[in-house]
Amino acid sequence: MLKMRFFGRAASLVLVAGLIGAAPSGDEAATPQAGKDGGKPRSEYAITYLTKDYKEPIPLSLMDKEIEDKGVAGARVAIEENNRTGGFLGQHFTLKEEVLPRDADIAAEAKPLLASGQNLIIADLEPQDLLALSDVPGAKDALILNIRSSDDDLRQKSCRPNVFHILPSNAMRADALAQYLIWKKWDKWFLLKGTTPSDIAYAKAVKRAARRFGGDIVEERAYKFEAGNKRADSGHQQIQTQMPAATQAAAEHDVVWVADTVEGFGEYLPYRVYDPRPVVGTQGLTATAWHRSYEEYAGTQLQQRFERAAGRNMTERDYAGWLAVRALGEAALRSHETDAPGLRKYLLSDAFTVAGFKGKGLSFRPWNNQLRQPLLIAAPRALVSTSPQEGFLHPRHLADTLGYDEPESKCEMDTLAGRM
């Protein structure tokens, strides 16, 4: 019986000389300016999309093409939407796209950006770079929105008052999937994890979800095999041999829960595991903020708008980029604030919500700046369910059953704010 639970581009992109180019400097970015027709003054919001030329994993399937504008393509769509709405109130939004070299010193590069008044930043950055950016002295009053990393530590001990998280955390993903598995009464999990730090961090979130919701990790293994060229003529033969070997003789289980955040082997598990069991986790059945099959709550409209603009399907990072820009637009529209500190304050207020095509307004958790939102439980080509699941209750927000709730938080936001 289900128990009721309460839970208190690549290098081909041209690098612009200077981080912001011809963007307004100093107070110009936040000062109302006269419109081109000399009429009503308008408020300018200059948003910077900041990323590095990171090495992206090559998709394991030929069906998935390499994408060079993942994330920023969603932000571009959202800027147009912000301007269509904001234009009626004299608000104008611009997007400055900045791609730094892979070995760039993010702190050094960010100083002139921040000094020029560009302090509304969509951060498509890995954890170490995100923290380096947030700790630049000039970033104290900035508003930085993380759309790349799900690392739990960024929401816990390494949280920062100036960093807001659009992408769901590892804990949110694991909790969302765990709730569905418990609802299905599939509570025996065989955990197969990779060896990278992000794989280990995700596996840690899975073990936390098991303790939280009553799942039983019957066995845990590390996947250490290395196949050759998996797309070579003999590649499938190596995989067909390795996957059964990696999962053979496991304790009795209902599902194989894979932790492969860098897409090294997980895509090859379905239909190749030793025992005939579903594969869930980072591949197979996944918990995600967005999926190309999603069409509920008018989600089809966003899918179609994005496809027309980008010529491809919307990925989760595209959705995060879109949602980050829309959150800024919604905060500006409703609060009429024109600077980053004012917008930060409004984002954390009870008055703020942003529509994310999920049936309810999305808001930020004030204890760690994480966007609370329902997560999609999706197979590769179809939506299966949405979490939180029925029966998992919370006294305030049902979505707070996903991830670290306030009593569990180790984010000392007030203390950190005093040090900045």
| CA angle (349 as vertex; 345, 354 as ends), nearest 5 | 100
Residue 103 CB burial class (10 angstroms; 0-12, 13-18, ≥19): exposed
* 164 and 302 fall within a common domain: yes
% of residues, the chain, pLDDT over 90: 80
Token representation of residue 334: 């409703």
How many angstroms separate the CA atoms of 125 and 28, rounded?
27
Question: How many domains is the chain partitioned into structurally?
Answer: 2
**Angle, helices 170-183/197-213, rounded to nearest 10 degrees:** 40
Phi, psi of 104 (to 5 degrees): -70, 145
pLDDT over threshold 70, residue 227 = no
* 300 and 323 fall within a common domain: yes
How many angstroms separate the CA atoms of 57 and 233, rounded?
21
Give the other-Cβ count within 10 Å of 394's Cβ. 16
* 163 and 195 fall within a common domain: no
DSSP state letters, 111-167: HHHHHTT--EEEEE--HHHHHHHHTSGGGTT-EEEE-S---GGGGTTT--TTEEE-S
- Tell me, yes or no, whether 45 lies in a domain: yes
* 13 and 114 fall within a common domain: yes
Token representation of residue 342: 């004012």
21 CB-near residues (< 8 Å, 6+ apart): 96
**pLDDT by residue (tens digit) across 166-212?**
999 999 999 999 999 999 999 999 999 999 999 999 999 999 999 99
Q: Among 264, 288, 312, which residue terminates a domain?
A: 288
63 band by pLDDT with thresholds 50, 70 and 90? confident
- The residues that bridge with 96 in the sheet, in sequence order, are 48
% of residues, the chain, pLDDT over 70: 85
* 42 and 159 fall within a common domain: yes
263 sits in the region (left: phi over 0; alpha: psi -120 to 50; else beta) called: left
| CA angle (209 as vertex; 203, 210 as ends), nearest 5 | 95
pLDDT over threshold 80, residue 147 = yes
* 93 and 228 fall within a common domain: no
pLDDT at 225: 73
Q: Among 288, 316, 340, which residue terminates a domain?
A: 288
Q: Among 288, 322, 341, which residue terminates a domain?
A: 288
Q: Are 164 and 142 within 8 A, CB to CB?
A: no
* 51 and 134 fall within a common domain: yes
pLDDT at 393: 87
Structural domain of 149 = 9-168+292-374
CATH of the domain at 44: 3.40.50.2300
**Region 61-73: what's the mean pLDDT?**
88
Q: What is the DSSP letter of 274?
A: S
* 190 and 246 fall within a common domain: yes
Q: Which of 32-41, 210-219, 352-361, 396-405 has the lowest mean pLDDT?
A: 32-41
| CA angle (147 as vertex; 399, 263 as ends), nearest 5 | 95
pLDDT over threshold 70, residue 418 = no
Please name which of 304, 250, 303 lies closest in space to residue 279, comparing C-alpha atoms: 250
Give the other-Cβ count within 10 Å of 115's Cβ. 15
How many angstroms separate the CA atoms of 57 and 345, rounded?
37
- Tell me, yes or no, whether 414 lies in a domain: no
Torsion of CA 362, 363, 368, 369, to 10 degrees: 90
How many angstroms separate the CA atoms of 340 and 118, rounded?
9
- Mean per-residue pLDDT over the chain, rounded: 88
* 162 and 144 fall within a common domain: yes
Whether the predicted model's global pTM rises above the 0.85 cut = yes
* 204 and 343 fall within a common domain: no
* 14 and 146 fall within a common domain: yes
**pLDDT by residue (tens digit) across 245-297?**
999 999 999 999 999 999 889 999 999 999 999 999 999 999 999 999 999 99
* 179 and 258 fall within a common domain: yes
DSSP state letters, 351-380: T--EE-SSSSEEEE-TTT-BEE--EEEEET
